[in-house]
C-alpha cells in the first residue's frame, strides 16, 4: 500500500510547473519499473497533459509491452506533445509494437496514422515496409512524410521505387526525404 501511494504521488508530481521536478519524478518512476506500469497506464487518461506526457515517456523508457494498446490509444490524444511523446514511447518499446502500429496506419485520424509511421521508422522493422509503401499514397502530407522517412530508415530496396515517385510529391518535406534517401542509394 505504501509503494502504491508513493507511485501515485510521483505520478501526481508530473504536473509540477518545474520541468526539473517532472524529470526527477519520471526518473524515480523508471526506477520503480514494473510496479508502476498499471498506475501509469491509468494516468494516460488524466486531464493534465503533463501527467499524460510523463506517463507516456516512462512507459516507453521501461519498455512496458502491456502498455502498447493503451499507448496506441494515446496517439489520438488531443495534445500534440503527448502524441509526439507517444510515438517515441512506442518506438522505444520496439518490435512488440510493430503489428499494432501497422494496424493503425489505416486509422481515420491522420495524426494517428502519421504518428504510427514515424514510430515504425524509428523501430526500423522490415515487416512495416509494405504497409508504409501503401501509406506513401495517403492524403495527408504528414503521413506521407512519416512513411517516406520511415522507409528511408528501414532501407529495404522495395522502397526505392516509391521514394523515386515521391520526388514529385506536392509536399516539399516528402520530396526532400526522398532526395536524401536516393542520394545514399
Q: Where are the domains of the chain?
A: 1-93, 95-185
Q: Which CATH class is domain 1-93?
A: mainly alpha
Per the CB < 8 A criterion, the answer to whether 150 and 132 are in contact is: yes
Name the architecture of domain 95-185: Alpha Horseshoe (1.25)
Give the CA distances from residue 182 to residues 136, 162, 165, in Å, rounded to whole numbers and listed in that order: 16, 11, 11
Residuewise pLDDT in 10s, the chain (185 residues)? 788 888 999 999 999 889 999 999 999 999 999 999 999 999 999 999 999 999 999 999 999 999 999 999 999 999 999 999 999 999 999 999 999 999 999 999 999 999 999 999 999 999 999 999 999 999 999 999 999 999 998 878 898 899 999 999 999 989 998 888 888 76
CA pair distance 132, 57, nearest whole angstrom: 25
CA pair distance 164, 80, nearest whole angstrom: 31
Residue listed under C-alpha cell 509526439 = 84
Say whether 57 sits in a helix, a strand or coil.
helix
Amino acid at each position: 500500500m505504501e509503494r502504491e501511494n508513493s507511485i501515485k504521488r510521483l505520478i501526481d508530481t508530473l504536473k509540477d510547473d518545474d520541468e526539473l521536478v517532472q524529470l526527477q519524478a519520471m526518473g524515480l518512476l523508471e526506477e520503480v519499473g514494473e510496479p508502476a506500469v498499471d498506475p501509469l497506464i491509468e494516468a494516460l487518461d488524466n486531464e493534465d497533459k503533463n501527467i499524460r506526457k510523463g506517463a507516456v515517456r516512462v512507459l516507453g523508457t521501461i519498455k512496458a509491452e502491456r502498455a502498447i494498446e493503451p499507448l496506441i490509444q494515446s496517439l489520438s490524444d488531443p495534445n500534440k506533445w503527448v502524441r509526439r511523446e507517444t510515438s517515441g514511447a512506442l518506438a522505444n518499446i520496439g518490435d512488440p509494437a510493430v503489428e499494432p502500429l501497422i494496424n493503425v496506419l489505416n486509422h481515420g485520424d491522420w495524426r494517428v496514422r502519421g504518428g504510427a509511421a514515424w514510430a515504425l521508422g524509428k523501430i526500423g522493422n522490415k515487416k512495416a515496409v509494405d504497409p508504409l509503401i501503401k501509406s506513401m499514397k495517403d492524403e495527408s502530407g504528414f503521413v506521407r512524410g512519416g512513411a517516406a522517412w520511415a522507409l528511408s530508415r528501414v532501407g529495404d530496396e522495395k522502397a526505392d521505387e516509391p521514394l523515386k515517385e515521391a520526388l514529385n510529391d506536392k509536399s516539399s518535406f516528402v520530396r526532400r526525404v526522398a532526395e536524401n534517401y536516393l542520394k545514399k542509394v
